């Protein structure tokens, strides 16, 4: 009976500790094998980021919904962010990288698209919000289909760096013009910053892909700028909302 339960657990354990590290650590009891420890930490971080991504933008969505306003949120920034996230997720999927290295992209696409939808709805543009949702769904279905060459997805991934920079700087400039961060969620911004930072390590460990690593380095830097603005404008944003 004990043997059966152990056999049942092995495939689940190997998700976090794949072969040959499973044998190295749990059969040979080499608990301090550096390479295997890195893999284990990377897998735990990767799946932790994916679990966190399920809710990472929920505070932002709730904030917009409760306020019935998308004030301070740039739709241009939202669209460019969707381009970057979808390109990254589709590229990782097409390359056959471990799901733990890119899986959060799919949850972020759904939540970012929801933010864009709500911003349009509360701007009295219901028709445009429905078109927006339909276009996002069609584009994702196309990018994940075998019809798209991997080279094309590689170009899209390479283009993510300037897209991320532009999308975040547009939002940062809008914050600067307003003198506040509007309806931007502090929780969401901090989680995005920490998630991108952790992804630098997991991408080095699990993919070794320079394009992906560079993308997360840039994303961490740009998210850091928005977090800095959030802290700088904290009091001013609260005063603006009160008024």
- Residue pair 173/87 in contact (Cβ under 8 Å)? The answer is no
CB atoms within 10 A of CB 44: 14
- Residue 1's pLDDT is 43
The tens digit of pLDDT for each residue in 24-45 reads 888 888 888 888 888 888 888 8
Chain segment 158-190, per-residue pLDDT in tens: 888 888 888 888 889 988 888 888 778 888 889
Residues 6 or more apart whose CB falls under 8 angstroms from that of 186 comprise 230
- Tokens 């070794």 found at: 208
* Secondary structure class of 68 (helix, strand, coil): coil
pLDDT bucket at 237, cuts 50 / 70 / 90: low
Calpha distance 243→236 (Å, rounded) = 11
Tell me which residue of 87, 121, 220, 240 sits closest to 177, measured CA to CA.
240
Structure tokens at 63: 């904030």
Predicted pLDDT at 6: 57
Kindly report the pTM of this predicted structure: 0.75
The 8-class DSSP code of residue 146 comes to: T
Question: What per-residue confidence (pLDDT) applies to 120?
Answer: 94
Q: Is the peptide bond before 121 cis (omega within 30 degrees of 0)?
A: no
Say how far apart CA 160 and CA 216 lie, in whole Å: 10
Predicted confidence at residue 56, as pLDDT, reads 85
| Terminal Cα-to-Cα distance of the chain (whole angstroms) | 67
* Mean pLDDT (whole number) for 106-111: 93
Interhelix angle 210-232/75-95, nearest 10 degrees: 150
Assign 238 a pLDDT band (cuts: 50, 70, 90).
low
């Amino acid at each position: 009976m004990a043997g059966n339960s152990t056999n049942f657990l092995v495939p689940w354990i190997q998700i976090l500790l794949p072969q040959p590290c499973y044998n190295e650590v749990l059969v040979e009891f080499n608990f301090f094998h550096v390479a295997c420890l890195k893999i284990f930490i990377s897998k735990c971080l990767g799946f932790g980021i994916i679990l966190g991504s399920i809710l990472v933008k929920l505070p932002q969505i709730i904030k917009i919904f409760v306020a019935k306003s998308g004030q301070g949120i740039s739709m241009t920034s939202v669209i460019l962010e969707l381009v970057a996230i979808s390109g990254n997720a589709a590229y990782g999927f097409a390359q056959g990288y471990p799901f733990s290295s890119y899986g959060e992209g799919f949850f972020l696409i759904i939540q970012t698209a929801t933010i864009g939808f709500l911003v349009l709805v509360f701007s009295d543009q219901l028709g445009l919000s429905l078109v927006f949702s339909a276009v996002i769904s069609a584009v994702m279905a196309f990018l994940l289909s075998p019809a798209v060459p991997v080279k094309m997805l590689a170009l899209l991934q390479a283009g993510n760096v300037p897209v991320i920079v532009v999308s975040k700087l547009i939002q940062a400039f809008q914050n600067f013009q307003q003198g506040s961060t509007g309806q931007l969620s502090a929780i969401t911004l901090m989680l995005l910053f920490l998630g991108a930072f952790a992804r630098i390590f997991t991408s080095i460990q699990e993919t070794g892909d320079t394009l992906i690593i560079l993308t997360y380095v840039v994303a961490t830097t740009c998210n850091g700028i928005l977090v800095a603005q959030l802290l700088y404008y904290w009091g001013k944003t609260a005063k603006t909302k009160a008024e």
